[in-house]
Amino acid sequence: MIKKIFRVEDMHCSNCALKLESLEEILEGVKEINASYHKLEMVVEYDENKLTEVEIVRAVKKKGYTAALA
Partner 1 sequence: MQKNKQKQNELFNPVVLVTLGIALVAIAIIMVTTQTDSNNALTASGLTNQIIVAFVTGITTGGLSCLAVQGGLLASSLAHQVEQDYAVQSTNRKKIKEKTKFNSTLPITLFLFAKLIAYTLLGALLGWLGSYFTFSPTSRAILMIAIAIFMIGNALRMFNVHPIFRYFSIEPPKFITRYIRKTAKGTDTATPLFLGALTVFIPCGVTQAMMATALGTGSITMGAALMFAFTLGTSPVFFIIAYLTTELGVRLEKFFMRFVAVVILILGFVTLEGGLNLIGSPYSLQNLTRNWSSPSTNSSPEIVSAQQPTLEDEITLYVQNQGYFPETLKAPAGKNLKLNLVTDGVFSCALAFLIPDLDYYQMLPPVGTVQVDVPAQEAGTELYFTCSMGMYTGQIVFE
Considering the rule CB under 8 A, would residue 54 count as an interface residue with partner 1? no
- What SS3 class is residue 59? helix
State how far the Cα of 39 lies from the Cα of 30, in Å rounded to an integer. Answer: 21
Considering the rule CB under 8 A, would residue 14 count as an interface residue with partner 1? yes
Considering the rule CB under 8 A, would residue 61 count as an interface residue with partner 1? no
Q: Where are the beta strands (DSSP E) in 1-70?
A: 2-7, 30-36, 41-46, 68-69
From candidates 2, 3, 5, 12, binder to partner 1 by CB under 8 A: 12
* Segment holding 33, helix H or strand E: strand 30-36
Closest approach, Cβ 29 to partner 1, in A, equals 13
Considering the rule CB under 8 A, would residue 7 count as an interface residue with partner 1? no
Instruction: Enumerate binding residues for partner 1 (CB under 8 A).
Output: 12-15, 17-19, 21-22, 24-26, 34, 36-38, 40, 62, 64
